[in-house]
Amino acid sequence: MSISVNGNAVQVPDDPRVSLLDLLRDGLHLHGTKKGCNQGACGACTVLVDGERILSCLSLAVQFDGRSITTIEGLGEPGALHPLQQAFVEHDGFQCGYCTPGQICSAVAMVEEVRRGVPSHVTSDLNANVITLNHDELRERMSGNLCRCGAYNGIVDAINETLKEAAE
């Protein structure tokens, strides 16, 4: 059994109890994905599986045989940051930075959800072909990612700027 992590084939651990988070951090030394609460409440461990956001602390590595995992390290690199990574820097969307990798991975997936027309709890028209990512919609969609430093305004500004640039 193997999974792709940031484009590299990785053997799934023999122990079926290993979480995806522990495989990433302890097995592959990808320390960008953070272990926050280890209960799925904070979003610090958010990664992308085939483009969908998941909480890696609540997922077993064996669940992802044949699938593609993208961590914060797989989104960009020094000198060639992902547009959301760059926007977080420019808008001071972090203070201590602990939640930032999960916030960015979640935002990348959220943008794709909106483009596909996936409604949220606050979407007013569930039959709409286009969902407007207004203030309330964005905050609702990012509500699973907590920031203890309170950098939410910078996070929202970074996401809004990235969406505006992508639409142009």
Q: Whole-angstrom Cα distance, residue 55 to residue 124?
A: 27
**Above 70 in pLDDT, residue 167?**
no
Contact 70, 47 (CB under 8 A): yes
Residues 6+ apart with CB under 8 A from 97: none
- What average pLDDT does range 5-15 have in this prediction? 96
**Above 80 in pLDDT, residue 166?**
no
Q: How confident is the model at residue 42 (pLDDT cuts 50, 70, 90)?
A: very high
Model-level pTM? Answer: 0.93
Neighbours of 12 (CB within 10 A): 20
**pLDDT one-digit tens code per residue, 95-118:** 888 999 999 999 999 999 988 999
Contact 113, 144 (CB under 8 A): no
Q: Whole-angstrom Cα distance, residue 145 to residue 75?
A: 18
- What average pLDDT does range 156-165 have in this prediction? 87
Q: Whole-angstrom Cα distance, residue 60 to residue 153?
A: 33
Q: What sign does the CA torsion over 142, 18, 31, 97 have?
A: positive
Q: How confident is the model at residue 45 (pLDDT cuts 50, 70, 90)?
A: very high
Q: Whole-angstrom Cα distance, residue 26 to residue 12?
A: 13
- What average pLDDT does range 1-17 have in this prediction? 96
How much is the mean pLDDT over the chain? 93
pLDDT of residue 128: 85
